[in-house]
Amino acid sequence: MPQNITTEQDLVNYLEDTFPLFTEDDISKILLYYPESNATDNPHAIDYATLGYTGATADNESSIATGQQQRANVRTPDTS
């Protein structure tokens, strides 16, 4: 998986490339069911552990990514 997804459009492009048979409706459902976080897209954001049930969680923070990148990492399988 590329580690340069910083916008929702980057995520859409990744999904379209990875899953070429997905329709626009399929992509829209993914974006709906896995909403974006309000986390930063800064690749230099400070890494920290999360509680997992309140505040920042693995859905929007991790040791490898924040924001849209983390959305892609958490939500899609590694196909490489």
- Indicate the domain borders of the chain: 8-75
Q: According to the model, what pLDDT value does residue 33 have?
A: 77
Q: According to the model, what pLDDT value does residue 34 have?
A: 73
pLDDT at position 19 over 60? yes
Which positions ≥6 away from 30 have C-beta within 8 Å? 15, 22, 75
pLDDT, tens digit (0-9, with 9 covering 90-100), for 20-67:
999 999 999 988 877 765 555 566 665 556 666 666 665 555 555 567
Q: According to the model, what pLDDT value does residue 43 have?
A: 60
pLDDT at position 77 over 60? no
